[in-house]
Amino acid sequence: MEAYDINPSDVDVEAPPKLFPNAGKASLVATRENTTEDRLASKVFSKHLVDVRGAKSTQYSPQLWLNRFDTFRQEVLRVE
């Protein structure tokens, strides 16, 4: 068996053409045009989300540790 000195990265292989190059074009254009507004709206929306999974006692425990961690982070580590 012969050893070949060929590196696969040296071989250029063309990607196949897209089957539907204009699929979703209107929504993609709208996404590109509204990136700043969408990012701001997404951030505001996510900051106002409240975790409501489980019973009240189930909700209490994670919030307890989050409060403790936030206090530790701000007071001890001095990280805002």
CA distance 3 to 7: 12
What is the reported pTM?
A: 0.43
Supply the pLDDT for residue 28: 92
What's the whole-number average pLDDT of the chain?
89
Average pLDDT over residues 59-80: 93
Supply the pLDDT for residue 75: 95
Instruction: Give the DSSP letter of residue 26.
Output: H
Contact 48, 41 (CB under 8 A): no
